Structure 1
Amino acid sequence: MSDSYEYLVRAKALADDRRAAEAREAVDWALAHAEGDDVDVLVLAGVILLILGDAHAALSVALRAAQAEPDGWEPQVLIADASRFLERIPDAVAAGRRAVALAPDEPEAQIALWRALAEFRTIRGVPKQIRAELAATARRAEELGVDPDQFTKPSLWLKLIPFAVAFGLIRLASGWALAAVLVIGALLGAALWLLQAHRSGATASGRVQSMRALSRTEIAHDPAKSRTAVINITACLPLLPFVATAFPCAAASDGDPWSTWSVTFAVGGAVVVLLLAARAVRWWYGEEFLRRELVPSRPAALHLGAVALLLGGTLALSLAGTTSTDWWLALVIGHFLWLFTGLGLSVGLLARDQRRRGALPRG
């Protein structure tokens, strides 16, 4: 038995005793001294990281294990479980299916697939193909001796509670009150994230580094993940002109235009946000991804072109001193149209990529 495995056995005992910091230290030592192809060590380390609540680190380790043993079913189970914890349900389903295909007689593989399928949702609900596969997976797992009590579906209503609360606050609050609610919510979310990092035995900066390392690993080894990252990043771009220049356009269409300096400030602020976002993407994913994957991509060209037209059109009308409400109304409509069209385009591209990876049914 290797020293790394012995350390992980100790880490498991520490994690069970809720001594997260010591358990995490043992896991990190084991991973640092493990051989690259020691899949048993990697899988056990990933399981302990899941117990500690650090699904990002667990998924990173699972990907290492899958790369070391492409035909191993245990790394695929770990990928499925970690992806499910991270709400990456299509990825969890795809990994669960790979695990079952590699080891159809392993109960753990069937359970991993069932749990991923049970979390699967689309805009139209649970697809029929998924429901049929869910039932078939449960039957097969029971045939292999799995306790039927494990097959309890998660409550969808519990997941809808935060959205219901948010909707109620938006309906009741307005102006500064709504802004205060959003700020308080952001602070509470940050505090919860820090608490989760502490409970996992990691520092806040260490957890950020773990998340960034996982993102870079995924796009480096999976072109589909790289495409997904491009789509996710560009999906935010329709919000930029809407937030920056839709309001001055709406005011001008009502006959109460903003001053040229105010419009220039709004457009300049949007450009600064765009540049800062580019720097953040480069820091998170790396210079290579920004230069070779994101900037030349069709989604980026389309979205950036629309942003330039809306921001530039607003600034041009303001500089020209246009008083015709028709022109301003046309820009307002353009902002709304692109907001929904751009977001819808991103959703469609993501769905197409998921179907290509086999995570979504085609029917």
Structure 2
Amino acid sequence: MRKGLFVGVVIAIVLLAVGMATAQGTVKIGYLAALTGDWAAYGQTEVKAAQLAAEEINAKGGVNGIKIEIVPYDFRTRAEDAVNAVRRMIEQDKVHVIIGANTSGINIATAPIVNRAGVSQIATVATNPLVTVDESGKVRPYSFRICFTDPYQGKVLAFFAAREMGKKKAAILYDVGSEYSQGLREFFIKNFEQYGGQMVADLGFRGGVDVDFRAQLTEIRNSGADVLVLPNMGKEMALTIKQARELGMKDLLIIGGDGYGEFMWEIAGDAMEGTYWVNHVAPGDPAMEPFFTAYQDKYKDECKEFVNGVLAYDAVHWVANAVERAGKADRKAIRDALESTSGVQLNHATLTIDPADHNPKDKDAVILECKDGKSRFFMKVKPE
């Protein structure tokens, strides 16, 4: 073979190999999580679960040969850090899609950035309606969620308290600086009154600042409330529950939303017993056993913050499904596939997205009961 011909063949082979690699490519998923700060237990679990999902998908050859890469960023519970992280993901890391954060306020803060840039963002446990629609009710084209919303969650809480538990006088203690807390409070009050209940106390506190809730709890005790609603995030709820029981409020039913975390037991101890929480996932669901086993095997941990873990894991599988349907790693094509999701079987649920608001349709809510040192499945609820 002549030297020139040989060199030409070699170059052709190299170019073919490069072309194949480029065709296969990589889907870069930015992951926005609080890896430090008060919400670190949630964020660390989410990133671990996302990486587990990516490794499992890649071990099977990826998505039509396209591998998945997780690019995590820590927003340290602060909106300004989340905004900066999202900008870096989009401009420097060139991610195709972003998963996270797990709170409404953070997703609302980053929504203008991802929608201007044309990069889809999937909220995991962010339930405020404004995560996916603007103030006028118009859908944000690149904002999605895998969880149900605050209006639905508030209705579930009200239905559970009034109809399932027979409570008629409610008190609420909420974080005045949290969109999540304010939204859940609003929708609980509206629905509880429609179910024939009466609000007897509606009190606030400053999240991240207040740690002593005895003044508010004393007022709640004196109001005659038979149920206390905590539409907040883990740490403050755990402190509230502990202090309520210390004030002798032993028979008061305490309920809350999906801000519940297993780490609350470390703060409140036995005071957690007999509390109830609306959630997206039941840890006792047999369908989730393979996930929990794989997580335990990889991280030597039982995935205590199971809701965050499951929804993060399934969010990666949702992205993989969207890429498969899109046929390529392209931001706009992935967005279109996410919006057209219909009947996609994930690990925790069958997912169909409403294109009008980018919310899942018809997902059952789970009630967890804190009993014998951990949360357990109590019942499923679909309110009237």
TM-score, L = length of structure 1? 0.25
Larger radius of gyration: 1
Counting strand residues as a fraction of each chain, which structure ranks higher?
A: 2
Higher RCO (CA-CA < 8 Å; seq separation 6+): 2
